[in-house]
Chains A and B, each alone.
Chain A
Amino acid sequence: MTDFATLRAQAEEAYRQTVEANRPRIVVGMGTCEIDAGAKSVYRRFEELIAAEKADVSLEITSCVGMCWAEPLIQITLPGGPRVFYGGMTPARAEEIFRDVIRGGRHRADLALYVWGDQDYEGIPALATSDFWHGQERRLMARFGNIDPENIDHYLATGGYQAFHQALTEMKPEDITTLLKDAGLTGKGGANFPAGVKWDFLRTAAVTPKYAICNADEGDAGAWVNREVMEGDPHLLVEGMAIGSFAMGAEFGYVYIRNEYPLAIARMEKAIRDAEAKGILGDNCLGTGHAFHLQVYHGHGSYLCGEETALMESIEGRRGMPRIKPPFPAQAGVFGKPSNINNVETYANVPSIILNGKDWYRSLGTEKSPGTKMFSLSGSLKRTCVIEVPYGVPLMLLVEQMAGGLPEGRTFKALQPGGPLGGVVDAATARELTLEPPPFQAAGVLLGSGGFVVLDETVCMLDLSRFFSHFCARESCTRCTTCRIGGMYSVDVLKRIQSGGGKPADIPYLGDLEESMRLDSYCVHGKNSPIAVATTIRYFKEEYDEHIYQHVCRAGVCTFAGAGLIQIQPMTPPPERMGAG
């Protein structure tokens, strides 16, 4: 067993040889989103070109930098020069760039996107001063695009596992939880429960073994920030969980990753194997006697398993149905043993808090929500992207500056935050929102796990709420009657309105459904699944009225083609038939 200083010195040496080698470097981004966009064919083309010429060029991979709109993205460094980003790569463009930049030795300002740093270079704009980057504070994303996520040496050489080493050697478990409480680290998965308090519950539990679990079942459609962390910097999550295991006295850990993220699963598994091989995880973490066994558990396709107790049921080999609390997970979690569940981002924030202290963490964000949060922006935008900003910044900074606003000729109609359970707000309300939980709660929506979908005038709000209602109804575990049936009823009523059979009593009926689902469902899924319908009625009431009374759909989506589509009669049929129905 080598000690930590030796381990790091070796890694630094290996890393330096890659980075400082006196030869051109081509770094191809390889996240799920980039591979979908064609990064593998670009990589293969470069490989062929290098092999054909026996060129002395280093070809490496990294992960998504958040610039999803420009993918596949590559970075080229010529000896002694800065890193230059080229976007929208194709095999043909790879050839062009290889010819002009690698062989020719000069960057192509007409093709280049950005140059790393805050200085323009040969007519290429600097990344740090660009609209996309300016205003971001990258803490979790600090290594994204700068290291090879599959290489543990890169992580160690950039300060990785230092916090874990420090925690093991210099701190007591209660120091760590106190530090997290003082720093004000809250759960990033949407519940915002203080992480230090949660860790204390488990630390003080008497039963052993204890389990530290990471909830990486990022089921919210339109949010992919957790995937970015696991693909871009998997060791960061491993380290966060390892510190957690020490603070909580947990000997075993699970990372529950949804099956839709095969690359994240592969990278996490590799990260854990590498860390075990280096003696960082295992029976004797870094030679200190602390034991932590971490393993990846991949999901089987259920949105509901993002709920903590459903996730535990799933690990135990049962249907993913939420448990009745109490007992809480800290008393009896997975396999009946004390367990703690946190989101990916929550764990990933821990190493930097250990290293930099509570004041550093609190230096960004707001009093109640300190720190930063990652967000993914998609929908009707010029730049689909992933960014990290401090809590409390205006939402419009993200939409209009970083994502570049909507495409020409489109108007901002509504914003859909926080996945299927998040709700919808109209443009006027969205313009006033700042990124922290309270304003979102006041607007009747949820900040959730960090996905924003921007909607333009071509989206019909009834159609959208039907889409979300259908999603929620399908993913219901069916224990509570309200959730099982309520969702389908909402879908039926909306379908009927869309096909021209709307009745004036439908809107109060949808309101009643919302109320009974919210009050009588047991878990957050049932409580929040009618939120899409409730918020669209709240913000787009006139659109519902137009559909019901005038058979007009502003977006031109609904056909009003016949009213004979009702399959299930509602429990209490709307009392009267008015208008053209």
Chain B
Amino acid sequence: MPPIKGDPRVLTAEDKRTIDALCAPHPRQQSSLFRILWAIQGQFGYVFPAALERAAWYCKVSPTRAYGAMSFYTYFRTKPLGEHVVQFCEGPACYIRGIRRLEHHFREKIGLHEGVTTPDGSVTVTEFECHGSCHLAPYLYVDDEAVPHATEADIDRIAERLRGNGGRPVANGHGTPSASVVPPSEPDADNPAG
């Protein structure tokens, strides 16, 4: 994914051409908005303000309305992901097995106390909704690789690997859900077991 050059609020001629090409297959109506935003996110990694404005213009809605619609959904990102994405399951089966404690432990390990991405842009920590692999609880994804029955030792190992940025995780999944931009819900420092 090419990084956005310069100010994300200003559309360069090149990006404009790219975005117009992404818009072109879709009819100019509001119901095309999300499909176009997905295409933009697929191309650039996230939806930057100027791109949203262009997409809104194409779909004949105001930029504020388009932003309002986009911000309702958790899969649209307004910031780029880190180099590695670690996602923790949010389902009840993982919850009762202490996934929040593992997430907290991981955040401590990589020193990410708030926000979703480390300042150096190496790791993004998010959550994903349960998709029914509950026999593996508690489990998480490191990039595309599922880590079933995760323990604190696993977390230490992953944190070590990602912090050192060596040993790139293998991509073998079927295309995991892309990470959401929702900030982690609760700090949960007050709740060590859950």
Contacts and interface: CB of A to CB of B under 8 A. Distances in A.
Interface residues of A, number: 68
Contact of A32 (B68, B132, B137): B132
Contacts of A41: 172
Contacts of B72: 302, 319-321, 477
A322 to B, nearest CB: 12
Interface stretch (A8-16, A17-25, A150-158, A551-559): A551-559
Given A317-B32, A453-B92, A35 B132 contact: no
Interface in A2-47: 32-33, 35-38, 40-41
Interface string B33-53: 110001000000000000000
Interface residues of B, number: 51
Contacts of B190: 495, 498-499, 559, 561, 565
B168 interface: no
A302 B93 contact: no
A416 B92 contact: yes
Contacts of A320: 72-73
A223 B132 contact: yes
Contacts of A555: 193
Contacts of B139: 36
A463 B194 contact: yes
Nearest to A474: B185
Contacts of A40: 172, 174
Contacts of A455: 96
Given A301-B73, A320-B73, A227 B132 contact: yes
A33 B135 contact: yes
Interface stretch (B7-15, B110-118, B123-131): B123-131
Given A260-B177, A320-B72, 12 more contacts: A33-B132, A36-B133, A69-B135, A258-B129, A262-B175, A299-B73, A301-B73, A319-B72, A453-B93, A455-B96, A464-B95, A557-B194
Interface of B: 29-34, 38, 59, 61, 68-69, 72-76, 90-93, 95-96, 128-137, 139, 146, 148, 172-178, 180, 182, 185-186, 190-194
Interface of A: 32-33, 35-38, 40-41, 68-69, 71, 219, 221-224, 227-228, 258-263, 266, 299-303, 314-321, 335, 376, 378-380, 384, 416, 453, 455, 458-460, 463-464, 467-468, 470-471, 474, 477, 495, 498-499, 555-559, 561, 565
27 contacts: A32-B131, A32-B132, A33-B133, A33-B135, A36-B136, A37-B133, A37-B146, A69-B135, A222-B132, A227-B131, A260-B128, A260-B131, A301-B75, A302-B73, A317-B30, A317-B31, A317-B34, A319-B69, A320-B73, A378-B134, A455-B96, A459-B96, A463-B193, A464-B95, A464-B96, A467-B194, A498-B190
